[in-house]
Amino acid sequence: MEKTTSLAGSAGGTETRRDTLTVIDNRTGKTYELPIVHGCIRATDLRKIKVDEADFGLMSYDPAFLNTACCISRITYIDGERGILRYRGYPIEELAEKSTFLETAYLLIHGELPTRSQLEDWTYNITHHTFIHESIKKFLDGFHYDAHPMGMLISTVAALSTFYVEAKDIFNPESRRKQTYRLLGKMPTIAAFAYRHSLGLPYVYPDNDLSYAGNFLNMLFKTTELKYRPNPTLERALDVLFILHADHEQNCSTNAMRSVGSSHVDPYSATAAACAALYGPLHGGANEAVLRMLMEIGSVSRVPDYIRRVKAGEVRLMGFGHRVYKNYDPRARIIKQVAYEVFDVMGRNPLLDIALEIERIALEDDYFVTRKLYPNVDFYSGLIYQSMGLPVTMFPVLFAIARTAGWIAQWQEMLADPEQKIARPRQVYLGYGKREYIPIDQRV
Ligand code: CMC
């Protein structure tokens, strides 16, 4: 693995360059040479660095994984400094323009774009796994009318594991294929049923004649018409949003999918865990939080005061900033374009002006510029969903539908990786040493 390169031209003639890191432990004076592979040292190599034989060995301390690669992946590439996002090598801009969500999901999960017949089979199989068991409907009925649809989604996806017990057979490719069809097929159905339940409307069954996004719109919005015909602009906008949200390498929910999946639990339970991680306002819940923020601000004239509060540390500017992107999120750029197309059909969302003013001020303000805070994927997506007639509580649910493709791809990659084991981080214990148990009547 070690690579040695000779660099000519230095003052002393030839200098040797090795792909290693030399570490001197000043506690012992010992020197260690650790291999560098793919720009990483192995954290376990640090364990060789000990003060004596009884020492556990050095660990790296990295809360929130700021600088720790937890896997080798070939799915999604992000260059946060330059604002680049690619799935399996294909730029997100090209996929958003030329692909469909189902084709992109195939690409993420299988590694290559499908041939025509592969895409037909893939689409057929997912389309024919969109129905949910009638008992799941009853299960959904048990939720209170104002239950958050994300809570309903998390629980119902977990409940799928009780319907498909063979899903536990995770090392059987045939079983994995089946669960993949089911997960991709049923997520929109569960999501739409959760929405209809919250309105007290009858559930609308899937329509196999429609596209993935078109059928989702049908299950959300169909009323008395015999055949629901989705508006092509809205159908395409939703499909593009699904493409943009389909994967994003090792984000919080994907990490949850991999981590929970590493215990070899069935994919429905792992996906429920990923959905739960996505629910939080710092992750997939951010698009909901953005809309709530825009509504709270209420008018363009109140934007400067809100920015002042952000800078004073009182509130966060939701939809801004990203752990990886230190540049404009490429997805935000595409979404902004899609937003205008949707507004052409549905009318301009009055909150857009507030969003544009926030972006204008923030992109010029030192606080945001120095911290490299730019709009992220969630800044404009909520405006589109709202214009389509969806309540804010549904926004993270839409994110979850799309991200299921990435979760499955990452889960399969994790299972196939011989280096992966059950995820089990270490800790630095700074609590009490051994103490005597104190009987309750002696406690103060
Ligand atoms: N508003 C105001 N200040 C911010 C924001 C924000 N949205 N984001 C980061 N900062 C500041 C933060 O206070 C810190 O300042 P200082 O150095 O003075 O302490 C600095 O920028 C670095 O922030 P951080 O919290 O260390 O950055 P992080 O990488 O831990 O957080 C983030 C990333 C996405 C959680 C954060 O930017 C944030 O909370 N954004 C708002 C929520 C949001 O939009 N989330 C959606 C992310 S994109 C979709 C997804 O992947 O789920």
What pLDDT shows up at residue 3? 42
Ligand 1 pocket, residue 318 CB under 6 Å:
yes
Residue nearest to atom 16 of ligand 1 (CA): 371
For 239, list phi and psi in degrees, rounded to 5.
-60, -40
Residue nearest to atom 35 of ligand 1 (CA): 282
Ligand 1 pocket, residue 283 CB under 6 Å:
yes
Ligand 1 pocket, residue 279 CB under 6 Å:
no
Ligand 1 pocket, residue 382 CB under 6 Å:
no
Task: For residue 375, count other CB atoms closer than 10 A to its CB.
Answer: 26
What pLDDT shows up at residue 17? 80
Task: For residue 30, count other CB atoms closer than 10 A to its CB.
Answer: 13
378 catalytic residue (yes or no):
yes
Residues in the chain: 444
Residue nearest to atom 24 of ligand 1 (CA): 323
Q: pLDDT, tens digit, for every residue of 398-425? A: 999 999 999 999 999 999 999 999 999 9
Q: Is the pLDDT of residue 5 over 70?
A: no
Q: For the chain, give the percent of residues with pLDDT over 70.
A: 96
Q: Is the pLDDT of residue 11 over 80?
A: no
Q: pLDDT, tens digit, for every residue of 181-239? A: 999 999 999 999 999 999 999 999 999 999 999 999 999 999 999 999 999 999 999 99
Measure the CA–CA gap between 70 and 357, rounded to whole angstroms: 39
Closest atom, ligand 1, to C-alpha of 324: 29
What pLDDT shows up at residue 7? 37
283 catalytic residue (yes or no):
yes
What pLDDT shows up at residue 14? 56
Measure the CA–CA gap between 36 and 19, rounded to whole angstroms: 5
Q: Is the pLDDT of residue 321 over 50?
A: yes
Closest atom, ligand 1, to C-alpha of 310: 2
Q: Which two tokens stand for residue 147?
A: 């239950």
Measure the CA–CA gap between 81 and 60, rounded to whole angstroms: 25
Residue nearest to atom 32 of ligand 1 (CA): 322
Ligand 1 pocket, residue 319 CB under 6 Å:
yes
Ligand 1 pocket, residue 322 CB under 6 Å:
yes
Closest atom, ligand 1, to C-alpha of 248: 51
Cα 106 to ligand 1 centroid, rounded to whole Å: 32
Q: pLDDT, tens digit, for every residue of 96-106? A: 999 999 999 99
What pLDDT shows up at residue 288? 87
Residue nearest to atom 52 of ligand 1 (CA): 283
* Mean pLDDT computed over 171-179: 98
- The catalytically annotated residue of 19, 169, 283, 417 is 283
Q: What is the CA radius of gyration of the chain?
A: 25
Q: Which two tokens stand for residue 241?
A: 């949003």
* Mean pLDDT computed over 333-360: 93
Q: Is 135 exposed, middle or buried (0-12, 13-18, 19+ CB in 10 A)?
A: exposed
322 catalytic residue (yes or no):
yes
Cα 66 to ligand 1 centroid, rounded to whole Å: 13
Residue nearest to atom 13 of ligand 1 (CA): 313
- The catalytically annotated residue of 45, 247, 322, 329 is 322
Q: pLDDT, tens digit, for every residue of 355-369? A: 999 999 999 999 999
What pLDDT shows up at residue 12? 44
Contacts of 360 (CB under 8 A, 6+ apart): none
What pLDDT shows up at residue 15? 61
Measure the CA–CA gap between 137 and 71, rounded to whole angstroms: 38
Ligand 1 pocket, residue 316 CB under 6 Å:
yes
Q: pLDDT, tens digit, for every residue of 118-155? A: 999 999 999 999 999 999 999 899 999 899 999 999 99
The mean pLDDT value of the chain amounts to 94
Task: Assess contact for 149 and 393: CB atoms under 8 A.
Answer: yes
Query: Which of 316, 367, 370 maximizes ligand 1 atoms within 8 Å of its Cβ, making it the mutation to test the pocket?
Result: 316
Q: Tokens 């120095």 appear where? A: 370
pLDDT band at residue 323, thresholds of 50, 70 and 90? confident
* Mean pLDDT computed over 85-97: 97
What pLDDT shows up at residue 9? 36
Residue 71 — left, alpha, or beta (φ > 0 → left; ψ -120 to 50 → alpha)? beta
Query: Which of 81, 308, 323, 381 maximizes ligand 1 atoms within 8 Å of its Cβ, making it the mutation to test the pocket?
Result: 323
Closest atom, ligand 1, to C-alpha of 278: 52
Ligand 1 pocket, residue 251 CB under 6 Å:
yes
pLDDT band at residue 4, thresholds of 50, 70 and 90? very low
Burial 90-117 (b: 16+ CB within 10 A, else e): bebbebbeebbbbbbbbbbbeeeebeee
Cα 282 to ligand 1 centroid, rounded to whole Å: 8
Ligand 1 pocket, residue 236 CB under 6 Å:
no
Measure the CA–CA gap between 342 and 384, rounded to whole angstroms: 7
Burial 191-204 (b: 16+ CB within 10 A, else e): bbbbbbbbeeeebb
Q: Is the pLDDT of residue 371 over 60?
A: yes
Cα 283 to ligand 1 centroid, rounded to whole Å: 10
* Mean pLDDT computed over 340-347: 94
Cα 177 to ligand 1 centroid, rounded to whole Å: 37
Task: Assess contact for 126 and 181: CB atoms under 8 A.
Answer: yes
